[in-house]
Amino acid sequence: MSYDEANMIAQRSTPLPPPNAAFGHSLRSLWTLNPAIHFLNHGSYGATPRFVQAAQLRWREELEREPVRFMGDILPDALRVAGARLARFVGASPSRLALVENATAGANAVLRSLRWNAGDRIVLANHAYPAVKNTADFLAERHGLHVVEAQVPWPLTDPAALIDAYTDAIKGGARIAIIDHVFSPLAVVTPLDAIVRLCRERGVQVLVDGAHAPGLLPLSLDMLGDMGVDWYVGNCHKWLCAPKGCGFIVATTEGQRDLHPAVISNYFGEGFEKEFAWTGTADPGARLAITAALEFIEALGVERYRSALREQARKAASVLANAWGVVPGATAEMFAAMVTLPLPVTESGSKEAVARWRLKLLKEHNIEVPIHNIGGRLWVRISAQVYNELSDYEALARVFG
Ligand SMILES: Cc1ncc(COP(=O)(O)O)c(C=O)c1O
């Protein structure tokens, strides 16, 4: 069965959104989410629509019909097709993009491929994603490197403060700067161009952690590459609604030299595409279903989707801010589909408090939303998605009303 045939079957049983579909709870049936839960955390792992799950399942069935023929004769081309489709979507040349399991795997590939010299400096933000921070710390310990944190203030009232934080951090020179395109706990979108320019002027290589960006922000990754982003890693399972286990790395031609997956496999040294396409036997269904995920987002209307999420996040943040008498952690323009606000409690932040509040909201109020401890205070990060309505956020507002 070809992908197109598989897709047709999937489409028949699990529809795409109708043209100009009204966003809100009426779209919830396109997902398999529990309707009893106010799901305000699309940001962490996304949620995969039925249409995309069906495509993933068809690929899995196709694999299991003739596993050997599939892996050897069908998979390489199928991955190439899926990769090229994604490359087009993110504005990258297909030869610059490789599929990886997730952003963590992509960042590890870059950082663990570099030939480090003792004393090299890695600059990253104090709010960088833990897995990426841990990778930097691990390498620092192994190779005698220095990890320098750009101190991004929080709350953040001006995007210039983010640029200043990186300016300060790279002042003493750096081998590489890691820039979060969208910060995970802060939900803030980084003014990437200015920071990349800064790095380029100082000869600092750049890895962008774009875990949240695909689908959410318009991307022109070839252009970013030309500006000085050597590597860009992204996830497809968040705002592109692909299955879990589907991310990518875009690397410039120079950035591909000496770049290897963190897992060294059969095709070591045989080129960017071949090496990343096979890192050992795995279920490729998630990566192959990226095409269905893109069809899904395109059926919603990419621009319409993006602006609806932004608008809904803004409205939802207003509902909460007004109800609780709080101010979001950054100005409205700095957020996209997620907003981080102070949780209206006096309790100070701790790992235990974060876990307890999340569970309390889920168990007692049927609300799934992440709580973060930022600078010793508790914050809540809301996500907007087309299956949400303002009533979902009003439910959260009422908990502390
Ligand atoms: C900024 C950032 N980087 C990296 C990751 C890691 O993503 P994954 O677990 O899919 O590798 C996340 C996940 O939320 C993130 O927000």
Query: Shortest CA distance to 195 belongs to which of 175, 169, 156?
Result: 169
Tokens in use for 334?
A: 């700095």
- Buried-state track 219-240, b at ≥16 Cβ within 10 A, e below 16: bebbebbeebbbbbbbbbbbbb
Q: Among 127, 182, 184, 188, name the best residue to mutate to test ligand 1's pocket (greatest count of ligand atoms within 8 A of Cβ).
A: 184
| Confidence label for 1 from pLDDT (cuts 50, 70 and 90) | low
Residue 2 has pLDDT above 80, yes or no: no
Strands 205-210 and 176-180, bridge-based pairing: parallel
| Confidence label for 211 from pLDDT (cuts 50, 70 and 90) | very high
pTM: 0.96
Q: Are residues 234 and 367 in the same domain?
A: no
**Does some domain include residue 198?**
yes
Q: Are residues 125 and 272 in the same domain?
A: yes
Q: State whether the beta carbon of 101 lies less than 6 angstroms from ligand 1.
A: no
Domain that holds residue 381: 302-399
Q: Are residues 328 and 272 in the same domain?
A: no
**Does some domain include residue 100?**
yes
Domain with 372 in it: what CATH number? 3.90.1150.10
Q: State whether the beta carbon of 9 lies less than 6 angstroms from ligand 1.
A: no
Residue 19 has pLDDT above 90, yes or no: no
Q: State whether the beta carbon of 108 lies less than 6 angstroms from ligand 1.
A: no
For the chain, the average pLDDT equals: 96
Q: State whether the beta carbon of 211 lies less than 6 angstroms from ligand 1.
A: yes
CA gap 2, 78 in Å, rounded: 9
Q: Are residues 345 and 267 in the same domain?
A: no
Residue 9 has pLDDT above 70, yes or no: no
- Residue ranges of alpha helices (H) inside 2-144 are 3-13, 42-45, 50-65, 67-69, 75-89, 103-113, 130-143
Q: Taking the alpha carbons of 95, 96, 102, 108 in that order, is the dihedral positive or negative?
A: positive
**Does some domain include residue 24?**
no
Q: State whether the beta carbon of 104 lies less than 6 angstroms from ligand 1.
A: yes
Domain end among 249, 273, 293: 293
Domain end among 268, 293, 318: 293
Q: What pLDDT, in 10s, does the model give residues 339-387?
A: 999 999 999 999 999 999 999 999 999 999 999 999 999 999 999 999 9
How many structural domains are present in the chain?
A: 2
Tell me, in angstroms, the distance from the centre of ligand 1 to residue 104's CA: 6
**Does some domain include residue 228?**
yes
Give the nearest ligand 1 atom to 183 CA. 1
**Does some domain include residue 37?**
no
Q: Are residues 204 and 91 in the same domain?
A: yes
CA gap 227, 234 in Å, rounded: 18
Q: What pLDDT, in 10s, does the model give residues 231-258?
A: 999 999 999 999 999 999 999 999 999 9
Q: Are residues 204 and 313 in the same domain?
A: no
Give the nearest ligand 1 atom to 128 CA. 1
| Confidence label for 28 from pLDDT (cuts 50, 70 and 90) | very high
